[in-house]
Amino acid sequence: MSHILIVEDERHLADGLRFNLEADGYDVSVVEDGEAALDRLSSDPHSVDLIVLDVMLPGIDGFAVASELRRGGNYVPILMLTARNRPEDVLRGFEMGADDYLPKPFELSILLARVNGLLRRRDWSRRAPATHGGSVTGSSGPAADRFVFAGKVIDFDRLELRAGDRHVPLTLMEASLLRYLVVHAGKPVSRKTILENVWGLHEDTDTRAIDNFIVRLRRYIEDKPAEPKHLLTVRGVGYRFVVEAEVTKKTVSS
Ligand code: CA
């Protein structure tokens, strides 16, 4: 049974969420602030399968909680509850490591669907067998959802990037952005297009928020992040992903 941690200081909302998640068959814990959430997760990091994390909390906010968890290497799925009409909160949440978000107020059925979706994805990536070492490029099964380039593997099933012995966990959003860039390899994509297609944001958002993601992805995939060879900036437009032709094998199915 999956265990969900709700981090929410509004009692009636937390109680309502707990009731409905328990009715759906989940184990549920509630904490009222970010410090308590971090305490809980640092003392027992594997006891929680998903966090429903409100942004507005007393003390440290939801952004800080997400960022602290990711910095500590905890990649438990995070569904962030953001204020309505604040697209910058959504971007900030993803930047801090959230996997999905819901603007408040939300329909419970939507929240339950998002929770189910995140947990399914998580279970699936856990079940997938680990493939370490050299044979990745040749022997991946037909269902393997990964992209191999320049000695690196983006594994969309396991949500990680592998480069030699280095395994970098990816959040769902990082993986989604990488997938979008890879699928459009060779073509410039604008920041606005990325916002619309990866984040689903159509509002007039500050598109520079994407740049922080790009900086992070470059640290993952570039040998020298300051001199990118794959994830290039297209001035006045956005970005372009380039695959080095001689060592590529495209296995992404989109
Ligand atoms: Ca709150």
Q: What digits encode the pLDDT tens for the residues 215-229?
A: 889 999 998 999 999
Domain match, 136 and 159 both: yes
159 CA → ligand 1 middle, Å: 30
254 CA → ligand 1 middle, Å: 37
Edge-to-edge strands, sheet with 50-54: 27-31, 3-7, 50-54, 78-83, 100-104
pLDDT over threshold 90, residue 123? no
Domain match, 136 and 203 both: yes
The average pLDDT across 25-50 equals 95
Domain match, 63 and 120 both: yes
28 CA → ligand 1 middle, Å: 18
- CA 31/CA 96 separation, integer angstroms: 20
115 CA → ligand 1 middle, Å: 19
**Could you report the per-residue pLDDT of 242-252, keeping only the tens digit for each?**
997 434 445 55
Structural domain ending residue among the three candidates 126, 144, 166: 126
135 CA → ligand 1 middle, Å: 48
**Best CA proximity match to 115, nearest among 26, 55, 201, 8:** 26
Structural domain ending residue among the three candidates 70, 98, 126: 126
Structural domain ending residue among the three candidates 96, 126, 156: 126
72 CA → ligand 1 middle, Å: 24
10 CA → ligand 1 middle, Å: 5
1 CA → ligand 1 middle, Å: 27
97 CA → ligand 1 middle, Å: 19
Residue 28 lies in a domain: yes
The average pLDDT across 35-40 equals 97
- CA 125/CA 86 separation, integer angstroms: 31
Domain match, 187 and 91 both: no
pLDDT-derived band at 127, boundaries 50, 70, 90: low
Do strands 248-249 and 146-149 pair parallel, antiparallel, or not at all (unpaired)? Answer: antiparallel
Angle at 104 between CA 115 and CA 79, to 5 degrees: 30
CATH number (domain holding residue 62): 3.40.50.2300
pLDDT over threshold 60, residue 99? yes
Domain count, the chain: 2
Specify whether the CB–CB gap between 230 and 220 falls below 8 A.
no
Q: Taking the model in full, what pTM does it have?
A: 0.71
Average pLDDT, the chain: 84
58 CA → ligand 1 middle, Å: 8
33 CA → ligand 1 middle, Å: 9
What is the residue range of 146's domain?
130-241
